[in-house]
Amino acid sequence: MSDVIKIKRGVDINLVGDVEAEFAAPVAVETVAVKPTDFHGVRFKLSVKEGDEVKAGTPLLFNKDDEQMKFTSPVSGEVAQVVRGAKRRILEVRVLADKKNTFEDFGAADPVSLEREAIVEKIAASGCWAFFKQRPYNVVAQTSKTPKAIFISGFDSAPLAPDLGMLLEGNEKEFQTGINALAKLTSGQVHLGLNASKPVGRVLSSVKGVKVSKYDGPHPAGLVGVHIAQNDPIDKGDVVWTINPEHVVIIGRLFLEGKFDARINIALTGSEVNDRKYHSTILGAAVKNFVDGNTSDKTNRIISGNVLTGTKVDIDGYLGMYDRQITVIPEGLEPEMFGWLIPKPDKFSISRALPSWFQRQIGNPEYELDTNLHGERRAFVVTGQYEEVFPFDIYPVQLIKAIMTQDIERMENLGIYEVVEEDFALCEVVCTSKIPVQETVRKGLDLMKEEVG
Amino acid sequence: MKALHDFVEGKIKPNFEEGAKLHKLWPVYDGLYTFLFVPGHTAHSGAHVRDGIDLKRTMNTVITALIPCLLFGMWNVGYHHYNALGMDVTFFDQFLFGAIKVLPMVIVSYGVGLGIEFFFCVIKGHQIEEGYLVTGMLIPLIMPVDLPLWMLALSVVFAVVIGKEVFGGTGMNIFNPALLARAFAFFAYPTWMSGDKVWINTDVAEGQAVVDGFSGATILGDLATTGATSYSAFEAFLGLIPGSVGETSTLLILAGAGLLIFTGIGSWKIMLSGVLGGATMGIIFNLVAPYALSPEQQAFMAVPFWQQLIFGGFAFGIVFMATDPVSGSQTEKGKWFYGFLIGFLAIMIRVFNPAYPEGIMLAILFMNTMAPLIDHYVVEANIKKRQKRLALKTAGA
The pLDDT, as a whole number, for residue A218 is 96
Q: Is B64 on the interface with A (CB under 8 A)?
A: no
**A91 and A231 housed in the same domain:** yes
Distance, C-alpha A397 to centroid of its chain? 24
**A248 and A384 housed in the same domain:** no
Task: Using a pLDDT cut of 70, give the percent of chain B over it.
Answer: 99
The pLDDT, as a whole number, for residue A2 is 58
Residues 347-366, chain B: which have Cβ within 8 Å of A?
Answer: none
Q: Is B117 on the interface with A (CB under 8 A)?
A: no
Alpha-carbon distance of A415 to A395, in angstroms, equals: 9
- Of B47, B168, B170, which is closest to A308 when you measure between CB atoms? B47
- pLDDT tens, residue by residue, A130-152: 999 999 999 999 999 999 999 99
What is the residue extent of each domain of chain B? Answer: 57-203+217-378
Residue to substitute from A299, A361, A371, interface B, most B β-carbons within 10 A: A371
Q: Are A287 and A326 in contact (CB under 8 A)?
A: yes
Mean model confidence pLDDT for chain B: 92
Residues 70-109, chain B: which have Cβ within 8 Å of A?
Answer: none
Report the range of poorest mean pLDDT among A357-361, A402-406, B252-256, B393-397.
Answer: B393-397
- pLDDT tens, residue by residue, B23-55: 888 888 988 898 899 999 999 889 999 999 999
pLDDT above 60: residue B263:
yes
| Pairwise pLDDT comparison (B385 vs B127), residue with the higher score | B385
Residue to substitute from A187, A374, A393, A414, interface B, most B β-carbons within 10 A: A374
Q: Please, which pLDDT band fits residue A240 given cuts at 50, 70 and 90?
A: very high
Distance, C-alpha B22 to centroid of its chain? 35
Which chain A residues are Cβ-neighbours of B126 within 8 angstroms? Answer: none
Whether A186 is covered by a domain: the verdict is yes
- pLDDT tens, residue by residue, B269-284: 999 999 999 999 999 9
Alpha-carbon distance of B28 to B126, in angstroms, equals: 10
Q: Note down the domain range covering A146.
A: 4-257
Q: How many distinct structural domains can be found in chain A?
A: 2
The pLDDT, as a whole number, for residue B133 is 92
Indicate the SS3 state at residue B42.
Answer: strand
Residues 221-250, chain B: which have Cβ within 8 Å of A?
Answer: none
Section A268-280 average pLDDT: 96
- Of A233, A329, A338, which is closest to B48 when you measure between CB atoms? A329
Candidates B279, B209, B200, B212; CA nearest to B240 is: B200
Q: Is A413 on the interface with B (CB under 8 A)?
A: yes
The pLDDT, as a whole number, for residue B222 is 85
**A245 and A110 housed in the same domain:** yes
Between chains, do B47 and A376 touch, taking CB under 8 Å as contact? no
Q: Is A408 on the interface with B (CB under 8 A)?
A: no
pLDDT above 60: residue A244:
yes
Whether A218 is covered by a domain: the verdict is yes
Q: Are B230 and B322 in contact (CB under 8 A)?
A: no
ipTM field? 0.93
The pLDDT, as a whole number, for residue B42 is 92
Query: For the CA atoms of chain A, what is the radius of gyration?
Result: 21
**Which of A257, A284, A304 is at the close of a domain?**
A257
Whether A340 is covered by a domain: the verdict is no
pLDDT above 60: residue B228:
yes
Whether A40 is covered by a domain: the verdict is yes
The pLDDT, as a whole number, for residue B215 is 83
Residues 362-381, chain A: which have Cβ within 8 Å of B?
Answer: 369-381
Half-sphere exposure (CA, 13 Å, Cβ side) for B264? 15
CATH number of B57-203+217-378: 1.10.3430
- Of B37, B55, B170, which is closest to A335 when you measure between CB atoms? B37
Whether A411 is covered by a domain: the verdict is yes
Between chains, do A434 and B4 touch, taking CB under 8 Å as contact? no
pLDDT above 90: residue A343:
no
Cis, bond preceding A220 (omega within 30 deg of 0):
yes
Which chain A residues are Cβ-neighbours of B382 within 8 angstroms? Answer: 393-395, 414-415
Which chain A residues are Cβ-neighbours of B48 within 8 angstroms? Answer: 301, 303, 307-308, 310, 312, 327, 329, 371
Q: Please, which pLDDT band fits residue B397 given cuts at 50, 70 and 90?
A: low
- Of A329, A341, A380, which is closest to B171 when you measure between CB atoms? A380
**Phi and psi dihedrals of A92, rounded to 5?**
-150, 145
The pLDDT, as a whole number, for residue B347 is 95
Secondary structure string (H, E, C) spanning chain A: CCCEEECCCCCCCCECCCCCCCECCCCCCCEEEECHHHCCCCCEEECCCCCCEECECCEEEEECCEEEEEEECCCCEEEEEEEECHHHCEEEEEEEECCCCCECCCCCCCHHHCCHHHHHHHHHHHCCHHHCEEECCCEECCCCCCCCEEEEECCCCCCCCCCHHHHHCCCHHHHHHHHHHHHHHCCCEEEEEEECCCCCCHHHHCCCCCEEEEEECCCCCCCHHHHHHHHCCCCCCCCEEECCHHHHHHHHHHHHHCCCCCEEEEEEECCCECCCCEEEEECCEECHHHHCCCECCCCEEEEECCCCCCEEECCCCECCCCCCEEEEEECCCCCEECCCCCCCCCCCCCCCCCCHHHHHHHCCCCECCCCECCCCCCCCCCCCHHHHCCCCCCCHHHHHHHHHCCCHHHHHHCCHHHCCHHHHHHHHHHCCCCCCHHHHHHHHHHHHHHHCC
Q: Provide the number of CB pairs (under 8 Å) joining chain A to chain B.
A: 215
pLDDT above 60: residue A91:
yes
Closest residue in A to B262 (Cα–Cα): A352
Q: Strands across the sheet with A90-97, in order?
A: A31-34, A90-97, A77-84, A53-54
Whether A380 is covered by a domain: the verdict is yes
**Which of A218, A242, A257 is at the close of a domain?**
A257
**Which of A257, A274, A297 is at the close of a domain?**
A257
The pLDDT, as a whole number, for residue A254 is 97
Task: Using a pLDDT cut of 90, give the percent of chain B over it.
Answer: 66
Section A151-165 average pLDDT: 96
Residue partners of A15: CB distance under 8 A and separation at least 6: A159, A160, A270, A271, A307, A329, A366, A367, A368, A369, B49
- Of B41, B171, B389, which is closest to A376 when you measure between CB atoms? B41
pLDDT above 60: residue A1:
no
Which chain B residues are Cβ-neighbours of A350 within 8 angstroms? Answer: 51, 53
Report the range of poorest mean pLDDT among B173-177, B342-346, B356-360, B386-390.
Answer: B356-360
Residue partners of A282: CB distance under 8 A and separation at least 6: A29, A32, A74, A75, A97, A262, A263, A264
Q: Please, which pLDDT band fits residue A7 given cuts at 50, 70 and 90?
A: very high
Which chain B residues are Cβ-neighbours of A310 within 8 angstroms? Answer: 48
